Amino acid sequence: MHVLVLGSGQLARMMSLAGAPLNITMSAYDVTTDRVVHPLTQAVIEQTLDQAIAAADVITAEFEHIPHDILAICDKSGKFRPSTDAIKAGGDRRLEKTLLDNSGVKNATYYVINNRADFDAAIQHVGIPMVLKSALGGYDGKGQWRLKDAAQVDTIWQEMQECLNSSTHQAIVAEQFVPFDREVSLVGARSASGEVAVYPLAENIHVNGVLSLSTAIDAPELQEQAKKMFTAVANSLDYIGVLAIEFFDVNGELLVNEIAPRVHNSGHWTQQGAEVCQFENHVRAVCGLPLGSTKLVRETAMINILGEDTLPNALLAMEGCHIHWYGKDKRPGRKMGHINVTADYSGELQRKLCEIADHLDENAFPAVHEVAQKIRS
Ligand code: AMP
């Protein structure tokens, strides 16, 4: 079988690696350059998008910010999975909120802002403090403002106005500031026949809005809540493939922060920590194959490599330490790769995280250092 992926970044690369043992080949469509490329080498394949669509058995996506005209062309072929509605909901916070509400899934109180009168109404409805997020194009904490004090209203409005004027379709979603204890996410898959399989929850640490460290956790009550919400959202979309849901844990109660209709950074740990990883399960689901087991096989944590292109070889020499580079050119803050670290039990995982922290620069890997400090104290 041949799969065409919309997007040619690291997620397409890892899907391609996971599909190879199943004899599933892949090409990727770079939406920004309008080129079809090989997802591992980035070598250009001399095909137009129409030709690539015709040559594919299945089409899927590695990100949600895809122009709707491209989605429409893919949809017309009847080959696109999970579904164009799911991708659109992931790329527009207004649609996402409507989806969550219609699925009966709890999320933060919100208000959609199109103009200054809406902003004033949002302040009444949602209250201060609030988080303001652009409806379109925002990811990894980009296009966001924190309104903590009424004195900031006019200054923040100036910036919001610029954002609103940037596109006729743009809006801003005001969200209640959630005083969460921690952030967790659930990654899982739904097959064409409606079977659902979820991985254990991951606890996530973000630095400046970007995921830095994810650890698979054993939290049966939260897992149960998360799985119910996951199933409600996936069923309401008649979803096919891997879906990720990010949550805030507030006193043991989960509120959805956002959904990602694709494989997700907080699921990279499954490459070493689960029986079948998220990339293979996505490929299996979209190709109509049975889902693989999502069972945890080893305690695992994942550390994002941001803006760095070399790591000490001592890490590779450590048992249970696996490095995944994405083959990208170095840029400050860019997701360049990740480290998966595994252990037989959680105390050993903690010991290994401390050992890894000793090899890494504190400025480049603040979350690992913070965790190591906590473990040691
Ligand atoms: P997002 O891009 O929506 O995932 O937001 C990036 C990060 O900002 C999240 O991972 C949270 O740490 C924080 N954040 C987002 N929304 C809220 C909220 N409503 N209340 C508190 N923190 C938030």
Q: What is the pLDDT of residues 264-293, one digit of tens each?
A: 999 999 999 999 999 999 999 999 999 999
Point out the annotated binding site. 93, 133, 138-144, 175-178, 183, 206, 257-258
pLDDT of 143 > 90? The answer is no
The amino acid at 232:
A
Residue 207: the pLDDT is 94
Cα separation, 27 vs 80, in Å, equals 14
- The arithmetic mean of pLDDT across residues 131-143, rounded, is 82
**Which residues surround ligand 1 with Cβ inside 6 Å?**
108, 131, 133, 141, 175, 177-178, 183, 206, 209, 246, 257-258
Cα separation, 302 vs 377, in Å, equals 22
Delineate the domains of the chain, giving CATH numbers in brackets. Answer: 2-80 (3.40.50.20), 109-176 (3.30.1490.20), 182-376 (3.30.470.20)
Q: What percent of the chain has pLDDT over 70?
A: 99
Split at pLDDT 50, 70, 90, the class of 137 is confident
CA of 144 to the centre of ligand 1 (A): 9
Q: What is the pLDDT of residues 197-213, one digit of tens each?
A: 999 999 999 998 899 99
Average pLDDT over the chain, rounded to an integer: 96
Point out the annotated binding site for ATP. 93, 133, 138-144, 175-178, 183, 206, 257-258
Cα separation, 140 vs 143, in Å, equals 9
Q: What is the pLDDT of residues 86-130, one digit of tens each?
A: 999 999 999 999 999 999 999 999 999 999 999 999 999 999 999
Split at pLDDT 50, 70, 90, the class of 139 is low
User: Quick one: 261 exposed, middle or buried, by C-beta within 10 A (0-12, 13-18, 19+)?
Assistant: buried
Q: 236 vs 86, 91, 192, CA distance in Å?
A: 10, 17, 13
Cβ within 8 Å of residue 141, ≥6 positions away = 206, 208, 209, 210
pLDDT of 179 > 80? The answer is yes
CA of 232 to the centre of ligand 1 (A): 22
Split at pLDDT 50, 70, 90, the class of 12 is very high
**Ligand 1: which residue has its CA nearest to atom 9?**
209
**Which of the listed residues 93, 147, 204, 257 should we mutate to test ligand 1's pocket, taking the one with most ligand atoms within 8 A of CB?**
257
CA of 38 to the centre of ligand 1 (A): 34
